[in-house]
Homo-oligomer: A and B are copies of this chain.
Amino acid sequence: MRAVRVACVQNDPAFGVRDANLDAAEALLEGVEADVVVLPELFASGYSFRDRAEAEAAAEPFPDGPTVRRLLAWSRRRGAAFVAGFPERAGSRVHNAAAVVADGRPLACYRKVHLFAFEREVFDAGEDGFPVVEHRGVRVGTMVCFDWIFPEAARSLALAGADLIAHPSNLVLPWCQRAMPLRALENGVFTVTANRVGTEHRSPRPVLRFTGGSLVAGPDGSVLAQASADGTAVVVAEVDVLRARDKRLPGGNDRLADRRPHCYGAPTAPSKDA
């Protein structure tokens, strides 16, 4: 299998001006050639919804809304897969979602399982787990932003066969960029964290400063490409997907097969003798 090119887009959207943000993202993508493109969480809507009504007003159905239609067009033109965050309306529910599309076709809509902070006031939590889709031989899993701190999220994707975890983000806490190489290592996968930069201040919510540093990490815990903490950017890395299919570590252990689930969870009583 040839190397797969992944692109990680770091944008700087303004709140509430979706079409301008889509145009700016399209400009960032100019000249980028990649098989898999990851954009941030809520990359075209902005993040700090004041309340549920504001989120509902911005939300769109999947796949027939303006943001996803644009993603579909980009993916058709490039023959690429795109993973990007948008606010999804699904009946009476509103989700912090990520669209997964490829070659002009909708493949999956991930609904964020672990809502962060005030997101719990404006979105409904996803109930459908973490999807894995295949695009040209690469199995792409999706999780969004704060999902990273729960190791179960990336683990669920690895156990479902993901080679690469697309990770649209709007990071404001200080840890994720340092943590993702470990998530890649412990699961033997590639990770693509697309974060945004800039600030939002939508009173009465606090000022949020987004921390950039978008990165691609490899199954050996290395950082393959990383954007700076400031400014828009597109970073690209070539990844050998076969490296994500061999879970062995030096010494021969298999990161997934050597799990011992019957030993997890509530421990048994301490064993004091034979």
Contact = CB atoms under 8 A, between A and B. Distances in A.
B261 A152 contact: yes
A266 interface: yes
Contact of A129 (B62, B100, B253, B268): B268
Contacts of A61: 273-274
Interface in A207-257: 221, 249-253, 255
A159 B266 contact: yes
Interface in A67-121: 89-91, 93, 100, 106-109, 111, 113-114, 116-118
Given A186-B150, A271-B111, A130 B263 contact: yes
Interface residues of A, number: 69
Say how many copies of this protein the assembly contains: 2
Given A152-B264, A173-B250, A259-B150, A272 B63 contact: yes
A134 to B, nearest CB: 11
B151 A186 contact: yes
Contact of A62 (B93, B149, B172, B273): B273
Nearest to A220: B175
A135 to B, nearest CB: 13
Contacts of A111: 271
B173 A133 contact: no
A30 interface: no
Interface in A128-163: 128-133, 146, 149-153, 155-157, 159-160
Interface stretch (A16-24, A177-185, A192-200): A177-185
A152 B151 CA distance: 8
A83 to B, nearest CB: 12
Given A125-B260, A151-B151, A267 B109 contact: no
Contacts of A149: 185-186, 249, 255
Given A113-B260, A272-B109, A156 B62 contact: no
